[in-house]
Amino acid sequence: QKEVEQNSGPLSVPEGAIASLNCTYSDRVSQSFFWYRQYSGKSPELIMSIYSNGDKEDGRFTAQLNKASQYVSLLIRDSQPSDSATYLCAVKGWGNFNKFYFGSGTKLNVKP
Amino acid sequence: DTAVSQTPKYLVTQMGNDKSIKCEQNLGHDTMYWYKQDSKKFLKIMFSYNNKELIINETVPNRFSPKSPDKAHLNLHINSLELGDSAVYFCASSQGVRGTDTQYFGPGTRLTVL
């Protein structure tokens, strides 16, 4: 069983719409959750982190965490073509240093 | 100013060869990592060093040997390369080993084994 699961997509949304990306994880004691964006041929870059249940907003991005359901999501409001990329969910458990488990990513296409 | 740099960016080599990838960070971080990203975009941690000490050593063939001469450098040497080693290898760094510490990734090294 994979530690972190994401729908590979592609997820296609029109420009200006809300894109919703989902991630589930298997380790119940996971404490830290991250969303990375990766453009084709580039390295992952952190866009959001969340550590407690609820919503966390940063500009057009909102991360949502539900530890009881072992579920974390990323909403992108007013999607732009420049948001087209692969979004990687990463989860870190309690202790064990900074061993991050990444999902395989969801490819997002925002159509003009 | 490049925060995390890797060399080379591309590496094409024959099966059985030995090759090295170098990583340097100028962020003053004390923890560095090697990740492997396969063709399906799955990013998997291989090794991590904190203050030159190996702290994460995943189930990786012993043909892979990391070396950290100092906190700012982490190199990866691969012996007897195999076709399955073809992937993009990312170096990353963070300050500290807590889960709240952001990891910054290098540009990646695309390794192709023929």
**For B39-87, how does the pLDDT look when each residue is reduced to its tens digit (9 = 90+)?**
878 899 999 898 888 888 887 899 999 999 999 999 999 999 999 999 9
Q: Which residue of B has its CA nearest to A101?
A: B44
As a three-state string, the secondary structure of B20-40 is EEEEEECCCCCEEEEEEECCC
What is the distance between the alpha carbons of residues B96 and B29, in angstroms, rounded to a whole number? 7
Closest Cβ opposite residue B107 in set A31, A43, A100: A43
* CB-based contact, B50 to chain A, within 8 Å: yes
Closest Cβ opposite residue B41 in set A98, A101, A104: A104
The one-digit pLDDT tens for each residue of chain A (112 residues) are 568 999 888 999 999 999 999 999 988 777 889 999 999 999 999 999 999 999 999 999 999 999 999 999 999 999 999 999 999 999 987 665 667 889 999 999 999 9
